[in-house]
Structure 1
Amino acid sequence: MIQDRAATASLLLAAMVILLAAAFFARPILAPVTFAVFIVAVVWPIQGVMQRRVPKLLAMVVTLLSTLAAISILGYLVVWAFSHVAQWLLNNTARFQALYGQAVAWLEAHGLAVQPLMATSFSPAWITGAVREIGGQGYGLLSFVVIAFAFTVLGLLEVDLAHHNIQRLENARLRESLLTPAKEISAKFQKYMLVRSTMSALTGAVVWVFALTAGIELATAWGVIAFVLNYIPFIGPLVATVFPSLFALAQFESWNLALIVFGCLNAIQFFIGSYLEPRIAGARLSLSPFMVLFAVFFWSFLWGIAGAFIGVPILIAVLTICGEHEPSKWIAILLSGGDRNKPA
């Protein structure tokens, strides 16, 4: 009996490793398809409501155009904000060079000879290269969105057909096991995006006001970056606080002021992300912070920036499916961040 269980566990582990390896190597196809499925799950209920009043084709066109407009606006904001930051960086490279020299001199005065090491592994040119790399990732993400949009069109065209085919299944239990989780996942995805968008807009506005009040240059760009990056839990807010702090260090040439800026930005992110957002999202979307962080890092490792964004929705879908079946319900309970029996 024990040997059978060990063999079963080994087979499951091997199958999981093979599936994850396939997901990694097939990311050019699977990543856009997964993103498209997520978009379809979010926007199709809206299209369904529109179809009751207008023809189906018109409802689909309006839904697609609205989705494309929203994604295009986010993409434009990313390119606009980072291009302004990159331009400021190129125009003020001398400031970073001076700070670099001061840091090396201070460390050497305290007995730490780091100049040879930093000369080979770090230089102001590295910062410029990092910014350019981010810009290249942004353009790659734009092409990813174009491919995913094509899958979204096909997905919206076939949602009704898929629903009809499931309804034709003779096995009532199988029918219910497919339709119920699908509806629940779609509803959770909608609420997740609504809450995430609201909190991102609030974060961007507060960061913008703080940057203006503190006299930090590129205040609008920092607000936009905080708004966009907040869609990626943990990693996005971290980047949105580190970058302005480094630029504040170069602008004010004061470590104390830079640390104050870093602390204030982190306080803003912590209050909105750890206090307001969980209370607005409710117990229905409550997830273990450990699993959220793991999902973001794991899927970003597999699929890059797109994986970092889609990691939490994948986690939500997996836990919802687990919660709908008794043998796996314990997984959903264990990995949730609150009382799943509490009404949302």
Structure 2
Amino acid sequence: MSATGPLAPPPASGGDARVPSPLGLPPSRQRRMPVARITQRHLLRIRVVLNILLVLALLYTVTIVRGLLIPLVLAGFIGLALNPIVAFAARRRVPRWLSASVLVIALIAGIGTGIARLTPPALEWFHDAPSLVRNFVPKLRAVMQPLEAANRATQSLVSGQAVRQAPRTATVAIDAWDVIAGTPKVLAAVLTVVLLVFFFLIYGDSLLRRLVEIAPNFRYKRRTVSIVRSIQVEVSRYILTTIVINATLGVVTATMLWAYAVPDPLLWGSVAMIANFIPYVGSITTTTLLALVGLMHFDQPGQALLPALTFAGITAVEGNLITPLIQGRRMRLSPVAILLWLLVWGWLWGIPGALLAVPMLTSVKLIAEKLRGWRWFALVVQR
């Protein structure tokens, strides 16, 4: 067969019948490129759909097992907050079980004393709620009278006649049986949290060592220890700082209410301290409650609204000056991210989810900063 036959290789130069590729690729690969791109696009779409289904499955699972996860998450945060004290005692050769026992007993005693002090005034408020509401309606009507007059004038201009509204009576129904029936569940949840905190404080380092042993080599072991230790220190610092700030806010609020002669200042100071764990929503809720309490117990509108206005000023200073100054820029979160996170966890877990939402968001942000491929999340939620 001659060199110019059909099986002969193409000449090195000149006479090449094939069109040269602008990308430097053979023609067969050029024909396969559109198919590869279409396949890649289909795989990307499938991946997006699978991620969405995974998120929905996680949300459904978190909702179903919230009775298990809420005590676990709460105990984890309390354990992280108290772990520095146990670690400090362990460095002074104090057994971890002894320091953990003292802390848990002190925590139970403090919470029990607070509940014993605050339960009678809270029950009294619930018992007197119908009469307080009946006395509150005329005062609220006096405050809202200018707005009602403007509303009636507007409706008369539109419809040509004045609109008369029948007075409404407010009723408050309180079922004591629901409270009694829910008491065993509350006690079981409290006991679960206490036991989990106790065991977290004792066996926290053992869990860390087991986690390090899972790592495949020394480099991963060292990186695991570094990440876990840094996250533990930063989350503990954040939780302790938040607790101290909120407790201080509760004390300042109770002192302010005592100075204004508002009844049960310790109760409302405790409400302000607990509600402040929910940014924005907690302060707005407490301000509204203090406004209602003031209108119920004072006759003059200015005197009635003074406690609420003072508390609004205190929370403005705390939220915009004190907390950012103490926690630093690294712990500051975007308001949009906070509100979305509150919306999601409040919808999934109710009030406990709203209380735990911001600590969980801060912890996830700190963890994302340490993990490769997740730093984008920390940048998105950071202010």
TM-score when scaled to structure 2? 0.74
Correspondence for 1:14 among 53, 70, 90: 53
**Secondary structure at the counterpart of residue 232 of structure 1:** coil
Q: How does 1:172-251 map to 2 (within 5 A)?
A: 172-251=218-297
Q: Distance in 2 between matches of 1:13 and 1:45?
A: 39
**Secondary structure at the counterpart of residue 277 of structure 1:** helix
Cα drift, residue 280 of structure 1: 0.8
Cα drift, residue 74 of structure 1: 5.2
Paired position in structure 1 for 2:103: 63
Deviations 1:61-98 (A, max 9, x none): 22332343344455456535533533553553431243
Matched, 1:167 2:212: yes
Q: Distance in 1 between matches of 2:279 and 2:164?
A: 34
Greater helix content: 1
- Over the matched positions of the two proteins, sequence identity in percent amounts to 21
Correspondence for 2:123 among 83, 92, 95: 83
Q: Distance in 2 between matches of 1:166 and 1:125?
A: 56
Cα drift, residue 31 of structure 1: 1.2
Name stretches of at least 5 consecutive residues in structure 1 with no aligned partner: 338-344
Q: Does structure 1 retain, via aligned residues, the 8 Å contact 2:143–2:301?
A: no
Cα drift, residue 21 of structure 1: 0.8
Alignment root-mean-square deviation, CA = 3.4
For 1:94, give the aligned amino acid.
Answer: R
Deviations 1:211-262 (A, max 9, x none): 2333333333322322333233333222221111112112224444444443
Q: Distance in 1 between matches of 2:126 and 2:80?
A: 36
Q: Distance in 1 between matches of 2:78 and 2:120?
A: 24
Q: Does structure 1 retain, via aligned residues, the 8 Å contact 2:346–2:352?
A: yes
For 2:324, give the aligned amino acid.
Answer: P
**Secondary structure at the counterpart of residue 200 of structure 1:** helix
Q: Distance in 2 between matches of 1:234 and 1:96?
A: 27
Q: 1:271 to 1:37 in 2, by over 3 A?
A: same
Correspondence for 2:355 among 289, 303, 309: 309
Q: 1:204 to 1:60 in 2, by over 3 A?
A: closer
Q: Distance in 2 between matches of 1:263 and 1:134?
A: 33
**Secondary structure at the counterpart of residue 373 of structure 2:** helix
Q: Distance in 2 between matches of 1:172 and 1:70?
A: 44
Q: Distance in 2 between matches of 1:268 and 1:335?
A: 26
**Secondary structure at the counterpart of residue 36 of structure 1:** helix
Q: Which moved more, 1:45-54 or 1:140-149?
A: 140-149
Q: Distance in 2 between matches of 1:102 and 1:138?
A: 41
Q: Distance in 2 between matches of 1:285 and 1:301?
A: 25
Larger Rg computed on CA atoms: 2
Correspondence for 2:342 among 296, 300, 320: 296
For 1:234, give the aligned amino acid.
Answer: Y
Cα drift, residue 19 of structure 1: 0.6
Matched, 1:326 2:366: no
Q: Distance in 2 between matches of 1:26 and 1:315?
A: 19
Q: How many residues align?
A: 332
For 1:89, give the aligned amino acid.
Answer: A
TM-score when scaled to structure 1? 0.81
Paired position in structure 1 for 2:74: 35
Name stretches of at least 5 consecutive residues in structure 2 with no aligned partner: 1-39, 156-162
Q: Which moved more, 1:65-74 or 1:5-14?
A: 65-74
Paired position in structure 2 for 1:342: none
Q: Distance in 2 between matches of 1:132 and 1:97?
A: 28
Cα drift, residue 110 of structure 1: 4.0
Q: Distance in 2 between matches of 1:173 and 1:114?
A: 79
Q: 1:160 to 1:212 in 2, by over 3 A?
A: closer
Q: Distance in 1 between matches of 2:201 and 2:262?
A: 44
Q: Does structure 2 retain, via aligned residues, the 8 Å contact 1:42–1:186?
A: no
Q: Distance in 2 between matches of 1:318 and 1:114?
A: 55
For 1:182, give the aligned amino acid.
Answer: V
Paired position in structure 1 for 2:315: 269
For 1:155, give the aligned amino acid.
Answer: F
Q: Does structure 2 retain, via aligned residues, the 8 Å contact 1:245–1:259?
A: yes
Q: Distance in 2 between matches of 1:229 and 1:173?
A: 44
For 1:17, give the aligned amino acid.
Answer: L
**Secondary structure at the counterpart of residue 333 of structure 2:** coil
Paired position in structure 1 for 2:136: 96
